[in-house]
Copies of this chain bind each other. A is one copy, B any other.
Amino acid sequence: MVGGAAHAGAAGDPLITQVQDWASGHGDGVDATPYGLPVKYESDVIRRNVDWLTADTISSINFTPIHALDGTITPQGCAFERHHSGAIDLSKQDYRLMINGLVDQPLVFTYEDLERFPRENHVYFCECAANTGMEWAGAQLNGAQFTHGMIHNMEYTGVPLRTLLQEAGIQAAGKWVYVEGADASSNGRSIPLEKVLDDCLVAFKANGEALRREHGYPVRLVVPGWEGNLWIKWLRRIEVMDGPVEAKEETSKYTDLLGDGTARKWTWEMDAKSVITSPSPQSPIRHGTGPLVITGLAWSGRGAITQVDVSVDGGANWVAARLAGHQHDKALTRFYLDTDWDGREMLLQARARDATGYVQPTKNALREVRGMNSVYHNNGIQTWLVTPNGEAENVEVS
């Protein structure tokens, strides 16, 4: 008996003993679905927002339903997106990308121009710096979608930004780039040249197809392992500069106010983190005691995930989870703990370790260093209380 999972007998089950409609007639043809949508039974597997989080939907966030997904790829249709002045309508024909500043030759690229450069393909996670940010002050939101759903993981196809900058010719004084989008917010950010030359992509496909409008169609910037606010959508302009701009999105926003009133800045790299997606508040245990699959996601902006530990007693004891699938650098890793549940209360936690040896800290360890004023970069260990009836809720452990 592998796993020892429950099973039902056939006797008396009309689904087994009687011929069903779907086996005696025929189903619909599917010619009417040239682009197939999710089945009606999955209508709850959708992005959701938190209406009090931003003042207006023009600047808002829609969270991935990570509690209902499995594997590692996030489908575009339900993949997290953040916008600062709505999602604009920009055709490939109207698309232009300018490279200017400290370059030998300022350049403007059409969409078609971009398609003529050598492309790469990589699976990367994109996480908002504010993901889990509401948890600094304690357990706030009841569901993995809301606490950890500002993240997605897709296979991006694009041209290395390095290639385009080399085409323009970077001058010796150039040390940073300033990147901005074509939307009214422009969402301008500064990025050190070293990162840009390393692995940033000017991407035009995600999971094989064109970007969704809300993900920046037709072109977005991919900044692997770094906070999502840098992943400029509707990418319009890249200026090579000798220093950072200190723009709104990197001063009043996306910095970390510490307990002593000073602020951390340039905290781009996303620290190793994990969350149990099931069981969780939106994905309770419905099948009672016995075999139980505990599963979740882990990721690090510094490289691959090498280990995930799971605790069922609030961190007193830990067991290594099984990592299932490929552990790509700067991409989501799926983990499982195949266990038996005796029906007793659990305090479920996961703890990620990455290739640098970094281990995900507790929320309290983070608070000791960073205080309680921060909004961003909360990668503390999350706790779900699972009660004997199988329901789960977001709690803090001391």
A49 neighbours in B (Cβ, 8 Å): 31
A269 at the interface (CB under 8 A from B): no
In the complex where A2-B117, A116-B292 touch, is A30 in contact with B70 (Cβ < 8 A)? no
**Residue on B with the closest CB to A337?**
B118
Instruction: Out of B7, B9, B27, name the residue touching A167 (CB < 8 Å).
Output: B7
- The answer to whether A36 and B208 have CB atoms under 8 Å apart is no
Contact partners of A261 in chain B: CB under 8 A: none
Enumerate A3-28 residues with CB–CB distance to B below 8 Å: 3, 5-10, 13, 15-16, 20, 22-28
CA distance A91 to B43 in the complex (A): 12
Q: Name A213's closest neighbour in chain B (CB-CB).
A: B39
Q: Are B34 and A96 in contact (CB under 8 A)?
A: no
Chain B residues whose CB sits within 8 angstroms of the CB of A119 once the complex forms: 70, 293, 295, 324, 336
Tell me how many residues of A have a C-beta within 8 Å of chain B: 122
Residue A183, interface by CB 8 Å: yes
Q: Which listed residue, B78, B98, B117, touches A209 by the CB 8 Å rule?
A: B78
A62 at the binding interface (Cβ < 8 Å): yes
Cβ < 8 Å to B, chain A residues 53-82? 57-58, 60, 62, 68-79, 81
Residues from chain B with Cβ under 8 Å of A171 in the complex: none
Q: Assess whether A189 is interfacial by the CB under 8 Å rule.
A: no
Q: How far is the CA of A109 from the CA of B5 in the complex (A)?
A: 10
Say which residue of B13, B91, B96 sits within 8 Å of A16 (CB atoms).
B96
Q: How many angstroms between the C-alpha atoms of A204 and B70 in the bound complex? A: 9
Do B325 and A122 touch across chains, with their CB atoms under 8 A apart? Answer: yes
CB contact between A75 and one of B15, B87, B208, B324 (< 8 Å): that residue? B208
- Give the segment of A221-229, A283-291, A347-355 that binds chain B: A283-291
Q: Does A260 contact B (CB under 8 A)?
A: no
With A27-B183, A184-B23, A210-B38 known to touch, is A7 a contact of B107 (CB < 8 Å)?
yes
Closest to A86 in B: B27
Report A's interface with B, CB cutoff 8 A: 1-3, 5-10, 13, 15-16, 20, 22-31, 33-39, 41-42, 45-49, 57-58, 60, 62, 68-79, 81, 83, 85-92, 94, 96, 98, 106-110, 112-113, 115-123, 155-157, 163, 166-167, 182-184, 186, 204-205, 207-215, 217-218, 234, 236, 286-287, 290-293, 295, 322, 324-326, 328, 334, 336, 338
A–B pairs, 23, beta carbons within 8 Å: A2-B163, A3-B117, A8-B110, A10-B98, A10-B106, A13-B108, A16-B96, A22-B183, A27-B83, A28-B86, A29-B58, A29-B86, A30-B83, A30-B214, A36-B78, A45-B210, A70-B208, A73-B155, A78-B209, A112-B286, A117-B291, A119-B324, A326-B326
5 more CB-based (< 8 A) A-B contacts, given A36-B47, A117-B291: A13-B96, A26-B58, A30-B87, A42-B209, A121-B334
